[in-house]
Structure 1
């Protein structure tokens, strides 16, 4: 299309008028929940409502020290809000770096604008890898192929011509063009797609789903225990209703695992902030958890193991082709493609196109490169009046089996070099045509069946790829963590295997050509599961291979940066995209590495393992408290005795044995491999621990009631029971804190010292209503706790042996 006929786009005045009328692509911001949503989610919870009612009840009947649990909840909720707001700011600042900035043509000039600044009627330019962000009608098309699989499920790219419709959510796989925006803002499908694909979401994960299940079980246990406790305390303490209310509240409050949900949110939020410092944008919180659970990581070679740039190592003429003519053809091919890929950019750098009028070749037809086709081409009118058609692409695609050039290409592939074939197509055009027109196939660029035409080899173009300096170390990390690594590339299998072998990837010496994979699903799944390096993989095959691995029971992560990776990224359990990748890949990936550093992946895995492992630890602490609280309430109801504790006692115990240590344990480093069945694992540990703790505590309480009598005896009985429960809970904490490090030992000892301070300081004794009377019962309490500790060790070892992983 001539420069005169090329659409110039809107003028500045027209853009301003449309903005004034509101005809602008106002889409929801790509960020996390609003500050108001975060506050509501942390404050207005079911358990906060229960605690709030009990807190107000104690404020009415007094004293103030029995209402400490309410202030702890307020502080915890405040911490959760602050951490989520902090994570929100981190995400929003990172999202600005990774946001889509399409190119629009205004006043005849191409410029990048934020997505939300596109107006109705804007002329939006398209290049390979660009995502269509609004709906529109094509004004220009130069070999434009659009993938609409995210909208229609149809994986084959669609060739577009001027006048065709383009839908937001589709993306360009080959060629270029421009379209006029006909639907913007809420009227365009892009608004809904971007909201779903790019929002910071709290979608369901095994960890969050498991905690929700646990909370459901707890609610079921709380209701009957609370009713029975209320009735029994009113009957037992009929002479003092206020005392009955206080002990009833003391029995209900510890059933609520108030800090579990909080610490889970805080752990995820801090994980987002930590990864944000490493320029890693986590678009969905559970992606941190998901990558920690992966058993297979699929890598695209280009952009992941190798850097984007390449260099022309040499050009080897074939069949006596003149070197000067080869240079002319390569210059012409470089000038024919306005948006070259990495391979063609390397050729352009080595053979820069001649300026117009300086003996240059005139392009009459083009066929852009696509991953499915694996070659590109162009037809030229040469300065002498002759016409020729040239192809550039994979030798094993363009040449017939047995061609002599294939052997030389295979040898170079084994050295880890990338080899392209320059070939002249037979039956070239007999006259000029419009570039990219529908008659391109008839002009010798593509055969009638859509495959390559008959080609005569002219030269091998040998490209040297740049290995990422951090790739070998990262592959080594995954091997140490028993995570299988598979390289899935569209390049020649032998070449990909050589690159992977240089990086020390086990199994790279046996690369597989994806074109030879069987169509039978079970057999293909077997080969995909057993192989390590795969070459000549089409975008559709990448998607199928991810599905094969998932069918084999693997949790799959897929990394990539090109449009050929989008389908696989979308279907993988976790999609990881490089920051320099196409807009389409960034739209479907859960994790974006903004600095293009493959070495950041181990940090994401480590962060996920920290979250999962530590939340399992603290969940065991919280659920143990819930179990022994429910069982103590039931025992009190059955024995018709006063509840052994006041709210202040359990606030003290919960803070020292669960709340404070859980906060540190939840944020500590943890490299343990993520294990499945979160709910089952936690309940297997928490139920026997809670049973032992409640039995030991209630046994001590009954012994103390038998031993003490007279005024003030209830305080002595409560003190003995408190001592036993504290020691048993500390034993559970010591087990959960393993493997011990200096700071974990110091944490446990500090909590123990704090309790001893309460027992030793008269003001604290009075404040917490604790008074150990005599020596017999306190030492009995210690003895019962020691016996309970032995039972805990036996129970935990049996559970650890019984659970898988």
Structure 2
């Protein structure tokens, strides 16, 4: 096993382990299979309720009244199609953005390392590690050089842990410093973090203000449905004396519209379509509520390197501080760095001929210390890092570096130390040798993105481990206004830290633990915080922020903990994510108003008819049939709710997200639903001829009630569609025209059991409907005044 651990497995060894099932067969993200998706969308509570009611209606022999059963097919089919599209998008993007560990395999020419997918790792594979790499399976270290591992994602312990050969490493942790290799001892579902990863990566719609608000509303509706449903069942079956078939049809006609059958479906569709749309922009949404969450963010903490600036760097100049030639030193330091960062890559590109010195000790770069180095025996101990960390900040060289950094350049100090770099007191006394000046390119899309957030009243905090003056210069070049602070001066007390953060825009020399503390401090003041980053030093803050956004080219650890991954590394994609979130929130609020208004007026109508039925039982008056059969409710839902709701749920919408979803929706739906319910009941009472009414007169009364309902419900749609654009006006107009056509065609009247022959009754119903529409209009304006919202009839550009 020692030989295998050192050299890796051969192709034959790998094939044998695959045959034995010793593979890393952890479930992929969006792990629900096609059968799971079909089952979840078909066997729903709402479908079960409608299914039972459909069976009851069909038992009466009235097939046309069972038309509402098509909702079962429509709900299931639309949900399945949209979730499958979202699953395919997520799976495709997950493969693109997946971490690919370097696995050492034995070839005919000797050991060779190659990247493979995590699922291709097998038991006993030797996997190489470097800074930023995520540990994908459990294992035992076989090699290490100054290796430090962060296990905070598993244990909550924020301090990195030094690892030696023979120590165990756990999947889900990541490397913060050093390098090494480990042999896989537990793969697949046996690995420590496999279950955590499986749960965290599911296609889910939980932990969302929108979803939790809808759940609260549905619970409230349930409390209304039970008494109203029992009342209407009793009165229609035991007080009307019209025969069981007619009673059953009227009872089902009352129960069907109480169920908000499309509300959850439309919410799921809106989220799923958002995933697909963002997927086209190479944006991987690891958790669906992140689409909604980013739309609610009011503070964005942006890491400078890799977010506002491009990852690549270029050596600008070397400012020698003494007579020593530093070319060989820089070339050797770059050559000895097995996992170079962007700065060291730029140095290696400029100095490609190392002298071939042998290092006696090395110290990898760490975000906490901000320097790295190597000892070369007689050639000395050399360190490279932040000038204001390796030297006293007030020293002339440190001040010179700060002046250069004020231009937006990155400055590193190369110096010799009096201590070996692996000494406990390293770096010791550092003698400056040269200032290494590097250029960072600002992302061309950064300014427009920051301007967008500023226009949306979203605060920006630029957080970086670089020199504060340099960070401030970059922020200034992007048009960001505000003060700059060196994070070493930040207070540690959470309350004082939160107050300090409110007064500054850019922060330099920020340690990883400080990034996390800054996120917590902002959250403690009621802010919803998004954190963007790409490095290992960003992981803790990304994990604890309300929304973590990682760059696709960043470390695998940062991509693993972020809710959103920008696979094309474009900071400018974030406004599109915000736009999708606003579309989801705004449109679902509109759709919720439609569905809940229908539920409220259905419950109201059922209660009024039920109470009238009880009164007839007690006082011997004429019993009151429920005005509608199921077919009436079905056609009423077609153009007042169903089709318009589908269009509105997917329409463009860039209105700012507002909090208080439940309060806003119920404030709108309750009054509108009560108006529609009372108007419909009034129209029915006026047209109703009592128990002696002929079948034609009963149909005319039902038609009158339907006319009133349609007129007032269409005005609810007209209000919900505001502020108007041409297509929204067209949507309302087409919906109204569709009902005019239905009521005008004799065949449709016969099929849908309508009768408008009595012009006086129909005109009365139309008048009451218009009164209801006027009441809904007044209610809308009054609500705006109460909520403090400026009402708009037309959308302003």
Q: TM-score range by the shorter chain?
A: over 0.9
CA distances 1:374-431 after superposition (whole Å, capped 9, x unpaired): 11111114xxxx3301111111101113200122111111111111111111245xxx
What is residue 750 of structure 1 aligned with on the other side? Answer: 734
What is residue 202 of structure 1 aligned with on the other side? Answer: 205
2:460 to 485, 498, 503: 485
What is residue 263 of structure 1 aligned with on the other side? Answer: 266
- Confirm or deny that 1:667 pairs with 2:619: no
What is residue 617 of structure 2 aligned with on the other side? Answer: none
- Confirm or deny that 1:360 pairs with 2:356: yes
Query: Structure 1: which 5+ runs fail to align?
Result: 429-439
- Confirm or deny that 1:721 pairs with 2:717: no
Structural mapping, 1:410-449, within 5 Å? 410-428=402-420, 440-442=421-423, 447=425
1:374 to 356, 367, 370: 370
Structural mapping, 1:138-153, within 5 Å? 138-153=141-156
1:409 to 401, 421, 427: 401
- Confirm or deny that 1:631 pairs with 2:604: yes
Once the 2 structures are TM-superposed, how far is the Cα of residue 99 of structure 1 from its aligned partner? 1.5
Once the 2 structures are TM-superposed, how far is the Cα of residue 76 of structure 1 from its aligned partner? 2.5
Question: CA 1:78–1:282 in structure 2 vs 1: closer, same or farther (change >3 Å)?
Answer: same
Once the 2 structures are TM-superposed, how far is the Cα of residue 802 of structure 1 from its aligned partner? 2.6
Distance 1:196 1:706 in 2: 61
Is the partner of 2:575 in helix, strand or coil?
helix
Distance 1:269 1:32 in 2: 15
- Confirm or deny that 1:647 pairs with 2:633: no
1:739 to 708, 711, 723: 723
Structural mapping, 1:322-333, within 5 Å? 322=324, 325-333=325-333
Once the 2 structures are TM-superposed, how far is the Cα of residue 210 of structure 1 from its aligned partner? 1.1
Structural mapping, 1:154-193, within 5 Å? 154-193=157-196
What is residue 435 of structure 1 aligned with on the other side? Answer: none
Query: Does the aligned pair in 1 maintain the 2:148–2:161 contact within 8 Å?
Result: yes
Is the partner of 2:688 in helix, strand or coil?
helix
What is residue 102 of structure 2 aligned with on the other side? Answer: 103
Distance 2:99 2:400 in 1: 43
Distance 1:5 1:230 in 2: 75
Once the 2 structures are TM-superposed, how far is the Cα of residue 773 of structure 1 from its aligned partner? 3.5
2:385 to 373, 379, 393: 393
Once the 2 structures are TM-superposed, how far is the Cα of residue 80 of structure 1 from its aligned partner? 1.1
CA distances 1:108-129 after superposition (whole Å, capped 9, x unpaired): 1111122122222211100111
Q: Which piece of structure 1 moves more, 299-308 or 95-104? A: 95-104
Distance 2:416 2:138 in 1: 39
Distance 1:331 1:144 in 2: 23
Distance 1:338 1:225 in 2: 72
- In the superposition, the TM-score normalised over structure 1's length comes to 0.94
RMSD: 1.7
What is residue 43 of structure 2 aligned with on the other side? Answer: 44
Query: Does the aligned pair in 1 maintain the 2:25–2:188 contact within 8 Å?
Result: yes
Distance 1:202 1:664 in 2: 21
- Confirm or deny that 1:597 pairs with 2:570: yes
1:800 to 781, 784, 794: 784
2:640 to 640, 657, 665: 657
Once the 2 structures are TM-superposed, how far is the Cα of residue 804 of structure 1 from its aligned partner? 6.3
Is the partner of 1:534 in helix, strand or coil?
strand
Is the partner of 2:16 in helix, strand or coil?
helix
Query: Does the aligned pair in 1 maintain the 2:130–2:179 contact within 8 Å?
Result: yes
Structural mapping, 1:246-257, within 5 Å? 246-257=249-260
Distance 1:427 1:158 in 2: 24
Once the 2 structures are TM-superposed, how far is the Cα of residue 336 of structure 1 from its aligned partner? 1.6
What is residue 432 of structure 1 aligned with on the other side? Answer: none
CA distances 1:198-221 after superposition (whole Å, capped 9, x unpaired): 333332211111111111111221
Query: Does the aligned pair in 1 maintain the 2:484–2:506 contact within 8 Å?
Result: yes
What is residue 595 of structure 2 aligned with on the other side? Answer: 622
Question: CA 1:569–1:711 in structure 2 vs 1: closer, same or farther (change >3 Å)?
Answer: closer
What is residue 503 of structure 1 aligned with on the other side? Answer: 478
Distance 2:196 2:695 in 1: 71
Q: Which piece of structure 1 moves more, 31-40 or 254-263? A: 31-40
Once the 2 structures are TM-superposed, how far is the Cα of residue 706 of structure 1 from its aligned partner? 5.8
CA distances 1:326-376 after superposition (whole Å, capped 9, x unpaired): 11211111112111100111111111133xxxx432222110101111111
What is residue 745 of structure 2 aligned with on the other side? Answer: 761
Once the 2 structures are TM-superposed, how far is the Cα of residue 555 of structure 1 from its aligned partner? 0.9
Query: Does the aligned pair in 2 maintain the 1:250–1:647 contact within 8 Å?
Result: yes
Once the 2 structures are TM-superposed, how far is the Cα of residue 794 of structure 1 from its aligned partner? 2.2
- How many residues of Structure 1 are paired with residues of Structure 2 in the alignment? 772
Distance 1:258 1:465 in 2: 54
Distance 1:187 1:123 in 2: 17
Query: Does the aligned pair in 2 maintain the 1:321–1:459 contact within 8 Å?
Result: no
1:276 to 276, 279, 301: 279
Query: Structure 2: which 5+ runs fail to align?
Result: 614-623, 790-797
Structural mapping, 1:560-579, within 5 Å? 560-579=533-552
What is residue 456 of structure 1 aligned with on the other side? Answer: 431
What is residue 474 of structure 1 aligned with on the other side? Answer: 449
Q: Which piece of structure 1 moves more, 273-282 or 788-797? A: 788-797
Distance 2:508 2:200 in 1: 29
- Confirm or deny that 1:18 pairs with 2:17: yes
Once the 2 structures are TM-superposed, how far is the Cα of residue 784 of structure 1 from its aligned partner? 1.8
Once the 2 structures are TM-superposed, how far is the Cα of residue 193 of structure 1 from its aligned partner? 3.2
Is the partner of 1:7 in helix, strand or coil?
helix
Once the 2 structures are TM-superposed, how far is the Cα of residue 709 of structure 1 from its aligned partner? 5.3
What is residue 92 of structure 1 aligned with on the other side? Answer: 91
Is the partner of 2:176 in helix, strand or coil?
strand
Query: Does the aligned pair in 1 maintain the 2:362–2:422 contact within 8 Å?
Result: no
Q: Which piece of structure 1 moves more, 661-670 or 398-407? A: 398-407
Distance 2:148 2:310 in 1: 26
Once the 2 structures are TM-superposed, how far is the Cα of residue 251 of structure 1 from its aligned partner? 0.2
Distance 1:569 1:41 in 2: 32
Distance 1:601 1:516 in 2: 31
Once the 2 structures are TM-superposed, how far is the Cα of residue 254 of structure 1 from its aligned partner? 0.2
Query: Does the aligned pair in 1 maintain the 2:583–2:651 contact within 8 Å?
Result: yes
Query: Does the aligned pair in 1 maintain the 2:89–2:276 contact within 8 Å?
Result: yes
What is residue 7 of structure 1 aligned with on the other side? Answer: 6
Question: CA 1:538–1:481 in structure 2 vs 1: closer, same or farther (change >3 Å)?
Answer: same
- In the superposition, the TM-score normalised over structure 2's length comes to 0.94
Query: Does the aligned pair in 2 maintain the 1:90–1:276 contact within 8 Å?
Result: yes
Once the 2 structures are TM-superposed, how far is the Cα of residue 6 of structure 1 from its aligned partner? 9.5
Once the 2 structures are TM-superposed, how far is the Cα of residue 529 of structure 1 from its aligned partner? 2.7
Is the partner of 1:487 in helix, strand or coil?
strand
What is residue 618 of structure 2 aligned with on the other side? Answer: none
Query: Does the aligned pair in 2 maintain the 1:132–1:171 contact within 8 Å?
Result: yes
Distance 1:607 1:239 in 2: 53
1:522 to 480, 495, 513: 495
Q: Which piece of structure 1 moves more, 587-596 or 781-790? A: 781-790
Distance 1:265 1:601 in 2: 22
Once the 2 structures are TM-superposed, how far is the Cα of residue 31 of structure 1 from its aligned partner? 2.7
Once the 2 structures are TM-superposed, how far is the Cα of residue 493 of structure 1 from its aligned partner? 1.1
Is the partner of 1:423 in helix, strand or coil?
strand
CA distances 1:728-759 after superposition (whole Å, capped 9, x unpaired): 00110000000111111111110111100011
Is the partner of 2:747 in helix, strand or coil?
helix
Question: CA 1:725–1:424 in structure 2 vs 1: closer, same or farther (change >3 Å)?
Answer: same
What is residue 778 of structure 1 aligned with on the other side? Answer: 762
Query: Does the aligned pair in 2 maintain the 1:32–1:91 contact within 8 Å?
Result: no
Query: Does the aligned pair in 2 maintain the 1:487–1:534 contact within 8 Å?
Result: yes
What is residue 794 of structure 2 aligned with on the other side? Answer: none
